[in-house]
Structure 1
Amino acid sequence: MITEQQDKTAVAPHGFDLSVTSGLQRYSAHHGDLTLTSVFQPVFSLSHMRAVGYEGLLRAHDPLDRPVSPLDVFGDAARVGEALLVDRLAQGLHLENFALLGAEREWLFLNVHPGTLIEAYHSAALLANLRRLNIAPRRVVLEVLEDEATDLDALAQAVAAFRERGFLVALDDFGAGNVDIGRVWQLNPDIVKLDRIMLMHAQHRADMAATLPALVALLHDAGKLVLIEGVETEHEAQLALACNADFVQGFFFARPAPGLTDAAQVQGVIAEATERFRQQTETRERGETHRLAPYLRAFERAAERLSAGEPMEEVCWNFLALDHAARCYLLDSNGRQAGRNVVLRVDRAERDARFLPLEDAQGASWLRRPYFRTALVSPGRVHVTGPYLSINEALPCMTLSMTVQVGERLCVLCGDIDWFE
C-alpha cells in the first residue's frame, strides 16, 4: 500500500508493496508467509575510493517479523521446484529498489540463477523489467554461480549472448566449491569474485598470502577484473590492497543497507587503509634493501674478480659464505649455463637430496628467465629479481645478475638467495 508521504506518481508493480521506512521508499513482496525486500551491499573501487556498484541482497521476515536466512528461502524454493520463481521475484525486487536508490552511474550487481540466462522465458522477463524501469544493460552486472546440474555449454552460450547485449558478467564465489580457473576460461566473465574463504586462508598461511597476488595477476592477464568479497577486518583490507584487487566488498568498508552508502565516510576508510598500506610497503622495502646490502656488495666484488680473470670457482666464496646464499652460476650470451653451479656443498647437500635430478645444470638454458634478459638489456649494474620459486629445490628465491666480460665473451653472472619472509 502506498502511504500519504510518498510521491503520488509512484505505483507499485503487480505483486509488490511500496512503503516508506526512515524516509526511504522500498518495495517488498510476499512469498508464502514471508515478506521479502532488498538491501544493497556496496562494491568499492580501491583506486577510485568510492562505490562503483551495489549488489542486491534478499532479506526475508516471517509473520512475526523474525529474520529468515536467504539461504533458507532459496533452499526451500529449490526443494519444491520454485527456485527460478523465487529467483525472478528477487531480481524484480532488486531492480525496483535499485531504481528508487537514485544511483546515477553505479552498477547493479544482480545474482541470477543459471536458468534465468539459459531459459528464454525467464531471460525475456529480466529484459522486460529493465526496459520498463529504463535501466540500461551496461549498468547491470549479472552474477553467475552454476550448480552441479547446470549445462555449462548452454550457460556459456547464454553468458556470451547477454554480454553482446551490453551486460557485464561476474563469476561468483571463485575459490569455493566447484568454481575454479576452468570455469573462468569456459564462461569468460568480465569480473571474477574471489570468495572470502581465500582471504581466510591467506590470513593464516604464508603460502596462500603469497599466492593471492599471483592469482589476481593471472586473472588480470586473462582480461578479468577482480573483486574480493567478505573483507571484514583491517588485515583483510591490507591483503586486498597487497594483491592488487580492483574491487572489494565487505563489512570493513560498509554493511548492506536499504540506501546508498556514505561516500565521504567510505572515502576516508579507504584512504586510511591505503595510507597504512603505503607505510607498510615502504617499511618492508627498506627492510629488504638493508637485508640485500651484504649480498650486493659480495656479488659486485665477485663480478669484478671474474672480469679480472680469476676462476669462477674462486670468486663467489664471499657471497656464498653469507647466510641463505644458495649458488652462483655463469650464463653465456645465449642464456646457456657454462659450467656447474658453484655451491657450498656441506650447506646444500641435505636440501638437494630430493631434487638430485636437477643438480647438474651445466648447459641448461635460462634464456626465459627475467634475470638473464634484464642483465643483458641494462649492463653495468646488479639486477635483483622479486621472489620466485626456484627450480633447484622448489624454494622461494631471489636472483642477483650482472653482465661481466670474461675474456672475449660477454656473460651474465648469477647468484641465488633463499628468500624466506
Structure 2
Amino acid sequence: MMSALQDAPVTPPAGFELDMVSGLQRYALRHRELTFTSVFQPIFSLAHLRAVGYEGLLRAHDAFDCPVPPLDVFGEASRQGELHHVDRLAMTLHLENFKMLGAEREWLFLNVHAGALTESYHAAAFAASLSRLALPPRRIVLEIHEDRIHDFERIAEEARRFRELGFLIALDDFGAGDSNLERVWQLDPDIVKIDRMMLSHAAHRTPAAAILPGFVALLHEAGKLVLIEGVETEHEAQLAFASDADFVQGFYFGRPAAGPADSGYAAARIGELAAHHRSETESRERRRAARLAPYLRAFARAGERIAAGEPLEEVCWNFLALDHAARCFLLDSEGRQAGRNIVLRADRPGQEARFMPVADAEGANWMRRPYFRAAMEMPDRVHATKPYLSINEALPCVTISLAIRVGERLCVLCGDIDWIEDEASME
C-alpha cells in the first residue's frame, strides 16, 4: 500500500465535466443513470473562530434531476459489487472540487469505506489525484466509521501506515451504536468525531449534559482532538462550546455548499457563544458564592473553635444546622480520618443505609481528594470544591475544608454539603 501511494501514476480523471452551481464552477461526473457532484460542510475551530476544514459530501441526481440520497447510492453500489469503485469516484470527485474551492490551508475530511484502505488500486488512484492536485497528505483527514468495520485490527494497521505518510485519521460517529473506547485505543485517531446522538441526549437530558464535558476531557487526556458534529440549534451549540470541544460541525454554523464557508457569519456566532458562556459562568459563580456564603462563615467559626481546643463533636453544630449540610470530619496531615463522621440530620442514616459498607469512614485515607490537597497547600484558608460524586451516598457533593493547627498537629477540618441536582442546575 505504501509503495502504491508513493509510485502511483499521475493521470487526469476521466469522465469529469465542469458544472455551474450558484455561480460556482465545480466538477461533476456520470455513473450509470446518476450524476455525482460534491458539496462541502465546513468544520470550525471554536478557538480560531473560523473554518479549519471541510467534509466532502456526495450529492447525486437521477436522469430527471431528482436527488438520490447518498445512502441509496452506496447501498445500490454494494448490491452491484461496485462499492469500492463508487467510493473511489466520490473520493476523486471531492479532491478535484476541493482544489476548485480555493482552500489554501484547511483540511479536507474524506469519508473512507474501510475496505478501500487495504485495496492497492484504490490507494494508487488516491495517490495519483493528490499528486496531480499538489495536495500534501497533511491536508487530508481520513474519516473511518467503526460500525462499518469487520476486521478492526487490520484497518487500524492500515490507518497507522497512512498516518506515517502524513495523513490525519478521524474516528467518525463515535458515541453511536456499539461505540466503545477500545476503538479509540486500537485506531489511535488524531480526531474523534462525537456523534450527534450524544449531543442530542445532552440537549434533552440534564445528566447527559453533565457527562458530555467529562467525555470530551477523557478524549483530551487520551491525546485526541474532539469534533462534535450535528450541531443544529443554539442550545446544542452552547453545550458544545461549554464542553470544551475543539471543533464543531453542523447547520448552526454552516450548511453543506459548493463554495467556501461564510467566515464572518460563523465568527459572529462563535463570538456570541463565547459571550454567552462568559456571562453564564460569571452568573453561576455569583450564585454559587451566595449559596456557599453561610456555610463558609459557619465553617470558619468551627475552625477557630477546633484550633482553641474544643472537640469536633461540639464545634460543627452551626454548620450542620444549615440546609443540606451533610457531615463534618477531621483528617490528620496524611489525609487519614480521625474518628467517625459527625452527622446531625435525622434522615441521614436512612440515606446512607444502602451504602453501609462505606458509611464508617474512621481511618479512611482521603489524601487523593482535592479538598485535602487544597487545604494543605494553603492553610488557614477555607476552600470549597467543585461539585463531585460523594462516595458516602453516590450523590453530588461539595466539600469545604480548612487546614488548622491543633496544638502541634496540623489537621484538616472538612464539611460536606449535598449539592442537590435541581439546585446545582441553578448555580
Asked if these proteins are the same fold (TM beyond 0.5), I'd say: yes
Root mean square deviation of aligned Cα: 1.4
The secondary structure found in structure 2 opposite 1:19 is strand
What is the aligned partner in structure 1 of residue 309 from structure 2? 309
Taking the aligned partners of 1:362 and 1:295, their CA distance within structure 2 comes to 24
Residues 337 and 366 of structure 1 are in contact (CA less than 8 Å); yes or no, is this contact kept in structure 2? Answer: yes
Moved over 6 A (4+): none
What is the aligned partner in structure 1 of residue 292 from structure 2? 292
Residues 115 and 122 of structure 1 are in contact (CA less than 8 Å); yes or no, is this contact kept in structure 2? Answer: no
Residues 355 and 393 of structure 1 are in contact (CA less than 8 Å); yes or no, is this contact kept in structure 2? Answer: yes
Taking the aligned partners of 2:66 and 2:398, their CA distance within structure 1 comes to 57
Deviation of 1:131 after TM superposition, in Å, equals 1.2
What is the aligned partner in structure 1 of residue 144 from structure 2? 144
Identity, in percent, stands at 66
Deviation of 1:149 after TM superposition, in Å, equals 4.8
Find out whether 1:48 has 2:48 as its counterpart.
yes
What is the aligned partner in structure 1 of residue 171 from structure 2? 171
1:26-45 map, 5 Å: 26-45=26-45
Taking the aligned partners of 2:141 and 2:95, their CA distance within structure 1 comes to 12
What is the aligned partner in structure 1 of residue 325 from structure 2? 325
Taking the aligned partners of 1:215 and 1:260, their CA distance within structure 2 comes to 31
Residues 172 and 193 of structure 1 are in contact (CA less than 8 Å); yes or no, is this contact kept in structure 2? Answer: yes
Taking the aligned partners of 1:37 and 1:191, their CA distance within structure 2 comes to 26
Residues 77 and 86 of structure 1 are in contact (CA less than 8 Å); yes or no, is this contact kept in structure 2? Answer: yes
Letter in 2 for 1:303: G
What is the aligned partner in structure 2 of residue 16 from structure 1? 16
Residues 21 and 258 of structure 2 are in contact (CA less than 8 Å); yes or no, is this contact kept in structure 1? Answer: no
What is the aligned partner in structure 2 of residue 264 from structure 1? 264
Residues 146 and 183 of structure 2 are in contact (CA less than 8 Å); yes or no, is this contact kept in structure 1? Answer: no
Letter in 1 for 2:261: T
Deviation of 1:12 after TM superposition, in Å, equals 7.2
Taking the aligned partners of 1:221 and 1:404, their CA distance within structure 2 comes to 35
Taking the aligned partners of 2:354 and 2:399, their CA distance within structure 1 comes to 22
1:270-285 map, 5 Å: 270-285=270-285
Taking the aligned partners of 1:69 and 1:328, their CA distance within structure 2 comes to 62
Per the alignment, do residues 353 and 65 of structure 1 end up closer, same or farther by CA in structure 2, a change over 3 Å counting? Answer: same
1:224-239 map, 5 Å: 224-239=224-239
Residues 113 and 146 of structure 1 are in contact (CA less than 8 Å); yes or no, is this contact kept in structure 2? Answer: no
What is the aligned partner in structure 2 of residue 409 from structure 1? 409
Taking the aligned partners of 1:177 and 1:122, their CA distance within structure 2 comes to 28
Comparing 93-102 with 377-386, which one deviates more in the overlay? Answer: 377-386
Letter in 1 for 2:414: C
What is the aligned partner in structure 2 of residue 117 from structure 1? 117
Letter in 1 for 2:28: S
Q: What are the Cα deviations for residues 140-197 of structure 1, in whole angstroms up to 9, with x where unaligned?
A: 1111113355211111111111111111111000100122211111100000000011
What is the aligned partner in structure 1 of residue 355 from structure 2? 355
Deviation of 1:88 after TM superposition, in Å, equals 1.0
Gaps of 5+ in 2: 1-10
Q: What are the Cα deviations for residues 223-268 of structure 1, in whole angstroms up to 9, with x where unaligned?
A: 0000000111110011011100000001111111001011112111
Taking the aligned partners of 2:120 and 2:334, their CA distance within structure 1 comes to 58
Taking the aligned partners of 1:168 and 1:248, their CA distance within structure 2 comes to 17
Letter in 1 for 2:258: P
The secondary structure found in structure 1 opposite 2:255 is coil
Taking the aligned partners of 2:368 and 2:218, their CA distance within structure 1 comes to 18
Letter in 2 for 1:327: R
Per the alignment, do residues 73 and 300 of structure 1 end up closer, same or farther by CA in structure 2, a change over 3 Å counting? Answer: same
What is the aligned partner in structure 2 of residue 384 from structure 1? 384
Taking the aligned partners of 2:345 and 2:268, their CA distance within structure 1 comes to 55
TM-score by length of 1: 0.95
Taking the aligned partners of 2:196 and 2:270, their CA distance within structure 1 comes to 19
The secondary structure found in structure 2 opposite 1:227 is strand
Taking the aligned partners of 2:31 and 2:285, their CA distance within structure 1 comes to 56
Letter in 1 for 2:182: G
Higher relative contact order (CA 8 A, sep 6+): 2
Letter in 1 for 2:21: T
Letter in 1 for 2:238: Q
Gaps of 5+ in 1: 1-10
Residues 12 and 27 of structure 1 are in contact (CA less than 8 Å); yes or no, is this contact kept in structure 2? Answer: no
The secondary structure found in structure 2 opposite 1:328 is strand
Residues 112 and 143 of structure 1 are in contact (CA less than 8 Å); yes or no, is this contact kept in structure 2? Answer: yes
What is the aligned partner in structure 2 of residue 340 from structure 1? 340
Taking the aligned partners of 1:85 and 1:326, their CA distance within structure 2 comes to 65
The secondary structure found in structure 2 opposite 1:364 is coil
What is the aligned partner in structure 1 of residue 396 from structure 2? 396
The secondary structure found in structure 1 opposite 2:397 is strand
What is the aligned partner in structure 2 of residue 198 from structure 1? 198
Deviation of 1:408 after TM superposition, in Å, equals 2.0
Taking the aligned partners of 1:19 and 1:392, their CA distance within structure 2 comes to 66
